[in-house]
Structure 1
Amino acid sequence: MKKFYLALCAVLAISACASNTPKTEEQTSLRDAYKDVFHIGTALSKSQIMGWDLAAQKVSNKEFSAITAENSMKWEEIHPTEGLFNFTVADKLVELAEQNDQFVIGHTLLWHQQTPNWVFEDKNGNPASKELLLSRLKNHIDTIVGRYKGRIQAWDVVNEALNEDGTMRQSKWYQILGEDYVAKAFEFAHAADPNAELYYNDYNLWMPKKRAGAVKLVQQLQQQGAKITAIGMQAHYSIPSLTTNPDLSEFEASIIAYKNLGIKVMLTEVDITVIRFPGAENQGADISLSYKLQAEFNPYSKGLPDEVSQEFTQLLVDMFKILAKHKESISRVTFWGVNDGQTWRNGWPIKGRTDYPLLFDRKNQAKPAVKALIELSPIFKNS
């Protein structure tokens, strides 16, 4: 009995010590740090949306207040065959967002890439008529936006309609429908859900010529009475030691130009490569580019040096400091993926590379940049 009493006392003593041991304070999440500033978002892959990659999904649930499907709502995925829609992943995305009180962006209703050939062809394989293509576009938008009316809060209506010099891209959409196809897409989206936010989204919008083209496009939409809520500046950038992409003075000039149109401004696809790009410096995000794997373009396959990580962090901090100066017009910052293992940059423009462009590493551990951005958040509230 005495032995039992002594053992019980020892257990109670250990329990008491444990209860008095101070707990390690959990770091504030990104979504909490920017809760009253703007949405901080991420793009989810199919495996993350469906819960097959629960570790990354948990990071998304905790750290981000907005989510976008990385690929699962693009035309080839959600509407692969005429009359056949696949809503499995999109439905799950919306359910996940509702469970975690997250803002949802539908990406994307109209794009020249990842759109099946049948969309642009008649039953004989010839180019579709203007009337046929317009009918298909309306049906696509009516069906998808209508299905998620009131549940998906915003849409990337048109993606990448501009060339680098600011002129209209000569896509099949343009060739068949003419320049007004952009306004038509916005018209259809607004009719399908009058309360949804509607965006134009593109890369390299920090560049002066493309900025001028985007300003012209938005002004035309406004003159035509189209509802456009915001412009999304895709931020597929590089660390400064590799390139001048972006020039931060031009980056800020673009934010000012777009907000002066009376619309909101967003960074929509933030990822910052740390690997040199073969070819031209201002690489943008043209997914048709492809090069063979070479060691000189894959220098960090074993890990990232601290000095490169610091440069990555500093660029994000510098960008966020600019955003703080224009905080009244910034509605969202979305990182294009949860972790480095997911990023499309591992396969573009060279397959097999090891890149590090996101906020969380391949083990879903936060990088120093996460802490830096959290510590920076008070300037948005005090400035």
Structure 2
Amino acid sequence: MKVQNLILMAGLGLVCLSGCKSTKGNSEVTLKDAFANKFLMGVAINDNQASGRDSAGAQLIIKHFNSVAPENCMKSEVIHPEEGRYDFTQSDRFVAFGEKYNMDIIGHTLIWHSQLAPWFCVDENGKNVSKEVLTERMKEHITTVVSRYKGKIKGWDVVNEAFEDDGSYRQTKFYEILGEDYIPLAFQFAHEADPDAELYYNDYSMAHKGRRDAVVNMVKKLQAKGIRIDAVGMQGHFTMEFPKVEDFETSLLAFAATGVKVMITELDLTILPPPAPNVGADVSANFDYQKEMNPYPDMLPDSVSKAWNDRMSEFFKLFIKHSDKVTRVTVWGATDADSWRNDWPMKGRTDYPVLFDRNYQPKPFVNEMINEASNNKSK
């Protein structure tokens, strides 16, 4: 037997071992089945998984999730690296993967100040372009990308992370040049490109009152203008201290009260100490490696693992409680090894932030939540 076939069988064997067992008998229950009458179970996937190079990861995703989002391949620096040139290689693979396995496909993200193609907002001299030029670039980019996947992608993260913790607008190039108008323009262009696609606003640290109020106000402004917005994505980049579950719940209810859906996006829970206060989930944050900031390079102590599982369980119980409002929960990475948390905001750390470990095994709370969902069948 060929070596590559042996490797593939070994990888698939790992996934078979990772099936979640209900504590009530030996019947296997997957995450997507357990939450089928509550919300979609989504996951961010990378190109190794979409292409099949990570066969064990791909099989884990196929087994447990019914929605996929692209971790990086649809961000403008990848999909539109130069003016007039698109690279759909990875995004086409991602969409094909979701279609093949009949998953709800989420597009991420159309307008974001981070991982932005360097040319997008400036001229050949590096100076800001005019309002007219940036508006046209936004329209061309959104129209090209959304139109390519029209009818294939269920919904788009149209604008990502437009506000600060205090509710002020983030001082991005988009805001600097276009002011707050860039948000309705982005939603308008996306709707025109695919009138049937759902459109979302996505942000982190949504438990902060300032950001909560700003997002509620933004949603109401779009609605007043007759501009489509279907959901608010509440990024779940949690720490062991932030947010308080009750504060997150307050924001969830505030967003739902505007009449839009609520989606839990980019879910992960870091166990590692923060190198500075109030880092949030700003991808531009960067700190030099410090050994004391990497306390668990090999494994988690049992007490720490239990604390992590208990806290993640609290949040999943909240999602179940409000499953009449929450339509999707998307984990940001299939396994701990895939998570961006390992290298952010400090490269070289080992983190344990998502639902499956580095051996493709479910964390203890996963079985607990499957039973919790099974015992709360009505929405």
State the aligned residue count: 355
Question: Are 1:62 and 2:63 counterparts?
Answer: yes
Query: CA offset at residue 126 of structure 1?
Result: 2.6
Query: CA offset at residue 160 of structure 1?
Result: 0.2
Conserved in 2, the CA contact under 8 Å of 1:237 and 1:271? Answer: yes
Flag the structure with more relative contact order, 1 or 2, with Cα contacts below 8 A and sequence separation at least 6. Answer: 2
Query: CA offset at residue 95 of structure 1?
Result: 1.2
Q: CA–CA distance in 1 between the matches of 2:320 and 2:117?
A: 41
Query: CA offset at residue 380 of structure 1?
Result: 4.1
3-state SS in 1 of match to 2:265: strand
Counterpart AA for 1:226:
I
2:357 maps to: 361
Q: CA–CA distance in 2 between the matches of 1:317 and 1:134?
A: 44
Q: Given the alignment, which residue of 326, 329, 343 partners 1:330? A: 326
| TM-score, normalisation: structure 1 | 0.90
Q: CA–CA distance in 1 between the matches of 2:375 and 2:124?
A: 58
Conserved in 2, the CA contact under 8 Å of 1:42 and 1:60? Answer: yes
Question: Are 1:143 and 2:147 counterparts?
Answer: no
Q: Given the alignment, which residue of 370, 374, 378 partners 2:374? A: 378
1:42 maps to: 43
1:314-354, CA deviations, whole angstroms, 9 ceiling, x for partnerless residues? 22221122223322111100000001111111101110000
Q: Given the alignment, which residue of 264, 270, 293 partners 1:267? A: 264
1:5 maps to: none
Query: CA offset at residue 223 of structure 1?
Result: 1.3
1:197 maps to: 198
Conserved in 2, the CA contact under 8 Å of 1:160 and 1:201? Answer: yes
Q: CA–CA distance in 1 between the matches of 2:345 and 2:335?
A: 19
Query: CA offset at residue 382 of structure 1?
Result: 3.7
Aligned positions of 1:225-244 closer than 5 A: 225-239=226-240, 243=241
1:11 maps to: none
Aligned positions of 1:255-334 closer than 5 A: 255-280=252-277, 282-334=278-330
Gaps of 5+ in 2: 1-24
1:352-377, CA deviations, whole angstroms, 9 ceiling, x for partnerless residues? 00000011111212121221221111
Structure 2 CA distance for partners of 1:175 and 1:380, relative to 1, 3 Å: farther
1:247 maps to: 244
Query: CA offset at residue 25 of structure 1?
Result: 4.0
Query: CA offset at residue 310 of structure 1?
Result: 1.6
3-state SS in 1 of match to 2:165: coil
Counterpart AA for 1:109:
L
Counterpart AA for 1:94:
V
Counterpart AA for 1:373:
M
Whichever of the two has the greater Rg, that structure is 1
Q: CA–CA distance in 1 between the matches of 2:173 and 2:376?
A: 42
Query: CA offset at residue 26 of structure 1?
Result: 5.0
Conserved in 2, the CA contact under 8 Å of 1:78 and 1:87? Answer: yes
Aligned positions of 1:20-99 closer than 5 A: 25=26, 27-99=28-100
Which range moved further: 361-370 or 118-127?
Answer: 118-127
Gaps of 5+ in 1: 1-23
Conserved in 1, the CA contact under 8 Å of 2:52 and 2:58? Answer: yes
Query: CA offset at residue 234 of structure 1?
Result: 0.3
Q: CA–CA distance in 2 between the matches of 1:380 and 1:193?
A: 36
1:285-340, CA deviations, whole angstroms, 9 ceiling, x for partnerless residues? 01111112112111111101122222222222211222233221111000000011
1:216 maps to: 217
Query: CA offset at residue 210 of structure 1?
Result: 1.2
Q: CA–CA distance in 1 between the matches of 2:334 and 2:375?
A: 25
Conserved in 2, the CA contact under 8 Å of 1:347 and 1:353? Answer: yes
Counterpart AA for 1:215:
V
Q: CA–CA distance in 2 between the matches of 1:216 and 1:382?
A: 32
Conserved in 1, the CA contact under 8 Å of 2:38 and 2:320? Answer: no
Q: CA–CA distance in 2 between the matches of 1:125 and 1:170?
A: 18
Conserved in 2, the CA contact under 8 Å of 1:317 and 1:376? Answer: no
Query: CA offset at residue 128 of structure 1?
Result: 0.8
CA RMSD of aligned residues (A): 1.3
Query: CA offset at residue 378 of structure 1?
Result: 2.5
3-state SS in 2 of match to 1:363: coil
Conserved in 2, the CA contact under 8 Å of 1:37 and 1:380? Answer: no
Q: CA–CA distance in 2 between the matches of 1:326 and 1:43?
A: 22
Question: Are 1:345 and 2:341 counterparts?
Answer: yes
Identity %: 46
1:201-238, CA deviations, whole angstroms, 9 ceiling, x for partnerless residues? 00001111111111111111111211100000001001
2:20 maps to: none
Which range moved further: 300-309 or 254-263?
Answer: 300-309
